Amino acid sequence: MNLLRVVLAQTNPRLGDLHHNLEDHLERVEAAVEEEADLVVFPELSLTGYFLKDQAFEVAEPLDSALLARLAEASRRVSIVAGFVERSPEGRLYNSLGFFEDGELRKVHRKVHLVSYGMFDEARDFAAGASFEPFRASKALLGPLLCEDLWHAPSAYVHFLNDVDVLVCSSASPARGVEARPGIEGLGSQRTWELLVRAQALLYRTWVVYVGRVGWEDGIGFGGASSVVDPFGNLVLCLDPLEPATATVELDGATLHRARVETPLRRDEKPWVLASALTEHLPGWRPPGEERE
């Protein structure tokens, strides 16, 4: 990676209104082109809104849909990462993140870690994805994650092993708590996400782009606080946690290279130790449906 110019699009999608949200995407994409950006990143389920419930099937799109084709066409001038509900040929619905570039939907990440605790019940509507594969953009290798994915260590670890340049996490996380302590002010959820994102950047020596949504649905507010963290764990940018906004940030390869030379964690990693532990020493850990010993 040399230099990647990224636009963070912190949006407030209208629940269930695909066409309104698409037009908003296209306007922001046009603005990103004017900024001479290489990539524009939208939040989780940015084309549909989050608390869909019984609307999930109605707003689901097959990968060859006309609506997604319009977003793909817009990607001829700038690469795009956007969230939507995917309907597979078998009729399953997925919380998906699409990578659009050069007029095509190049790759899709299906959310692996569905949230089904507290106020969430994603497993009611969605099937879970089963892999973490990078998006190979023209200027960088991107590691896609969807919100809860970032909370589970193997998610970013797989991207780390694949040597991605940038972890890209799109989110629709609720705003929670207010902190008012010496030196710490603002939303508790913003503080939590900042810690998570900085930890990933520091541990895996990578750029991290986090894009959250804002607005309200079903009485729940979303926390925004989209941010960029460099490979040393330094917070480069953080947007307002409650208002729609955009920001343009340059991610440079020199910083990435310097961080990895100073601390060559991937070079010295021993993933076979983990593989051995999972297959030999932790026999109780098996994928769902497999016989436990």
Tens of pLDDT, residue by residue, the chain (293 residues): 889 999 999 999 999 999 999 999 999 999 999 999 999 999 999 999 999 999 999 999 999 999 999 999 999 999 999 999 999 999 999 999 999 999 999 999 999 999 998 888 999 999 999 999 999 999 999 999 999 999 999 999 999 999 999 999 999 998 865 554 444 445 667 788 999 999 999 999 999 999 999 999 989 999 889 999 999 999 999 998 889 999 999 999 999 999 999 999 999 999 999 988 888 877 666 666 665 54
Is 292 part of a structural domain of the chain? no
Is 214 part of a structural domain of the chain? yes
Is 150 part of a structural domain of the chain? yes
Position 279 scores a pLDDT of: 81
Is 291 part of a structural domain of the chain? no
Name 180's bridge partners. Answer: 185
Looking at residue 68, its amino acid is L
Is 287 part of a structural domain of the chain? no
Is 289 part of a structural domain of the chain? no
Is 286 part of a structural domain of the chain? no
CATH of the domain at 78: 3.60.110.10
Q: Which two tokens stand for residue 73?
A: 């066409």
Please tell me the total count of domains within the chain: 1
Give the three-class secondary structure for 268: helix
Measured CA to CA in angstroms, residue 277 lies from 74, 169, 273, 282 at distances of 46, 28, 6, 6
Q: Name the burial class of residue 256, with classes exposed (0-12), middle (13-18) and buried (19+) by CB atoms within 10 angstroms of its CB.
A: buried
Q: Which two tokens stand for residue 93?
A: 């619905």
Backbone torsions φ then ψ of 81, nearest 5 degrees: -120, 120
- Residue 141's domain comprises 3-281
CB atoms within 10 A of CB 185: 11
Position 149 scores a pLDDT of: 98
Is 268 part of a structural domain of the chain? yes
264: region left, alpha or beta (phi > 0 left; psi from -120 to 50 alpha)? beta
Measured CA to CA in angstroms, residue 55 lies from 27, 51, 92, 133, 220 at distances of 25, 9, 14, 28, 17
DSSP 138: S
> How many Å from the N-terminal Cα to the C-terminal Cα in the chain?
45
